[in-house]
Structure 1
Amino acid sequence: MLRKPIVYAMLFLSIALMYACSKNEDDIKPEEKKISFSVPSNFPAPAYNFENNKLTNAGFTLGKKLFYDTRLSADKSVSCGSCHQQFAAFANLDHKVSHGVNNCQGKRNAPPLFNLAWQKAFFWDGGVKNVETSPLNAITDACEMGTNIETIIAFLKSTAPYPDLFKQAFGSTEINSQLFLKSMTQFTAVLVSGNSKYDKVIRKESGATFSTTELAGYNLFKEKCSSCHAEPFFTDFSYRSNGLDLVSADEGRSHITGTNTDFGTFRVPTLRNIEYTAPYMHDGRFYSLDEVLEHYNSGVKASANLDTRLKNGIPLNASEKEQIKAFLKTLTDNEFIKNTLYSES
């Protein structure tokens, strides 16, 4: 008499397991996926490792909500996501410089946000040394969010659902600047871009190969560009002058160091996802890769602190430019750019 219920139960369990195992990855909602920080096998160990900021789904979700909340700005018009747009690899598409509260225009181009866990300094001038405190610049800058951390914390304490979200993330109803910054970092430091065609070729993944043009571009890149744009991040994180002007209108890193030899120098930007991060340079003066390559071919100015590698520019003929562009496009990580886990809800 007990056999039929047991058989039915086993049949039901089998069907349930078959459904669970066959559930397509695309059918899993973002909030159902366990948030993790993954280091691509062709990357070194990161500088930031979440040891003192335990990564959780609740913390990540809170950080993402804060990243996209325009109400944190002085006039409630801009968020972090306004200047760091996912479809532009978290850069600012078609804006030469950042646009903040009251339509105020900053003086520098908004850099893309990814692979931040490997950085030891942030912004064009390296003025911040910790990924957790980096949002404070945008928060307090008069031409960005134009507010202060105290005002934001008071807003979060009095605005649903933030008290509940902080409790879910950190196990306490306490809301303070430290937890605010930690939750933001649980979102931004998880933004890892390391699955471009280039990465797949370097990792020798099945079926991943460069075309003839891409390979020629890669070889040219290694010969002419890699001393500054070093693999795998395509930046060596140094500060250099690339001869945009004889005298820079922006003091660059010397604003931080007070050193004359740093005047007009800026952090070497990553070239990952460069296909989507225009406009280029610290002031966004170039709107295309063609303009960038022609600058190095014929437009380098002999500024006082010009990097010695660029004293003769980087001569490139038309064919070489096309080859380098073809290679640079292999640095596009479409899976990262289109990952709904990072999208505004």
Structure 2
Amino acid sequence: MNPSGSWSRYATSTLAIAAVVLGLNGCRKDATLPGDEGAGPPTPYLLDLPTWVIDSVGPMPIPSDNQLTVEGVALGRRLFHEVALSDDGSISCASCHVQANGFGDPRRFSIGTTGQEGTRHAPALVNLGWDTAFFWDGRRAGLETQAHDHVVKPIEMNAHWSEVVHRLQQIPEYPPLFNAAFGTVQIDSILVVRALAQFERTLVSFNSRYDQFHSTGDSTVLTDTERRGLALYVGRGACAKCHPLGMFTDHGLRNVGLEPFNADSGLAGITGLSTDLGRFKVSSLRNVGVSAPYLHDGRFSDLMAVMEFYFDHLEASTPNLDHLLIDLLDQQGQFTHAEMMDLIAFLHTLTDQNFLNNPSFTAP
């Protein structure tokens, strides 16, 4: 989909479509809108998950009121790339979540429609259906509610939902697509975020070289360097404590020793608890080799900088330092450059080229 095309279609929409929109407020709640009838039930969408994934982490939990459908996912995909969600038609979700970068942002901070930079790095999106907390500070518990926030945030899309819904209603393609997905041509914010959440739940990545090694047991899939890195990852490096094999995240919120808190208090900004100062969401390391920069503020531009922080510069005096990092305090300065390179080599085995190039995720 050409982003500017949707905006121009909005501007040149037909009077007939506009008449439908203008008449919505006069419709009774039980009234049938033109185009509502005859769509038929949507088609269930089946996620293609490897057996070992289901056996190890379980099936993806999906809300009963927003089950995946072929039509809902297709609509969500279009909306993910839709610039009409922003106030001036200049950015979409995909503007800050780039597929080639693991659906992360290669910039340290994303730039909203006003030209203002954000204050946190836009994280990579992967295997979101298993997540239980969203945003770096964990403020939202579900994909639907997190999708709602980005549209109205002043330093992001800077829009109002009433205006977004009005624009989408006047783009000729959308009423039939909403009808196919949800049985109504009347668009609202709830249905928009449900469609977005459906698409985002399909962003699953389990086909990296590590996954091939894990699922087949064929040790030759990884090089000697990568296997040494794996041994460090689950052993002395203690990486797997917060980023366990499988999902490569424990879905927790942890203080990993970053300062200063006065710049960003993390979870404490939501709870008001001093014990939550500096606690941020543990991100998945899947596709981490292509999703730089790293951590909530994008302070590290490459993986070596991350290694050096954890293995050379972690401070015992850091308030609220997570207990899972205590073991690393005794090993500061004990990791060689070669060992760090081995770890980085292993992390690159988590890159899923099929995920990064899947045409089902691109703009339709």
Is TM > 0.5 for Structure 1 vs Structure 2? yes
Tell me, in whole angstroms, the C-alpha distance in 2 between the residues paired with 1:50 and 1:104: 35
Q: Does structure 1 residue 270 correspond to structure 2 residue 291?
A: no
The equivalent residue for 2:310 is 296
On the 8 A contact 2:258/2:278 being kept in 1, the answer is no
For 2:243, which of 206, 210, 229 is the aligned residue? 229
User: What does residue 171 of structure 2 align with?
Assistant: 159
Taking the aligned partners of 1:231 and 1:92, their CA distance within structure 2 comes to 24
Larger Rg: 1
Q: Percent identity?
A: 37
Structure 1 segment 82-231 matched on structure 2, within 5 A: 82-93=95-106, 95-204=107-216, 209-223=221-235, 224=237, 225-231=239-245
Which deviations, in whole Å up to 9, do the C-alpha atoms of 1:241-280 show, x marking residues without a partner? 2112254510101111111011111111111100110000
Q: Which residue of 1 aligns with 2:93?
A: 80
Q: Which runs of 5+ in 1 are unaligned?
A: 1-33
Contact persistence 1:244–1:299 (CA under 8 A)? no
**CA deviation digits over 1:184-223, x for unaligned, max 9?**
1121111101111111111116786221111111010001
CA contact (8 A) 1:198 1:331 kept: yes
Do residues 42 (structure 1) and 57 (structure 2) align? no
Is the contact made by 1:101 and 1:144 (CA closer than 8 Å) also made in structure 2? yes
Does the alignment pair 1:306 with 2:306? Answer: no
**Alpha-carbon shift at residue 47 of structure 1 (Å):** 5.0
Q: Distance in 2 between matches of 1:205 and 1:182?
A: 39
Q: 1:62 — aligned with what? A: 75
CA contact (8 A) 2:81 2:363 kept: yes
Which residue of the other structure, out of 340, 349, 359, is the alignment partner of 1:330?
A: 349
Q: In angstroms, what is the RMSD of aligned CA positions?
A: 2.0
* Structure 2 unaligned regions, length at least 5: 1-43
CA distance in 2, matches of 1:63, 1:281: 27
The one-letter code of the counterpart of 1:324 is: L
1:243 to 231, 238, 257: 257
C-alpha distance in structure 1 between counterparts of 2:169 and 2:206, whole Å:
37
How many residue pairs were aligned? 312
Counterparts in 2 of 1:54 and 1:265: CA distance versus 1, 3 Å: closer
> What is the CA–CA distance in structure 1 between the aligned matches of 2:58 and 2:192, rounded to whole Å?
26
| Equivalent-residue separation in structure 2 for 1:232 and 1:328 (angstroms) | 13
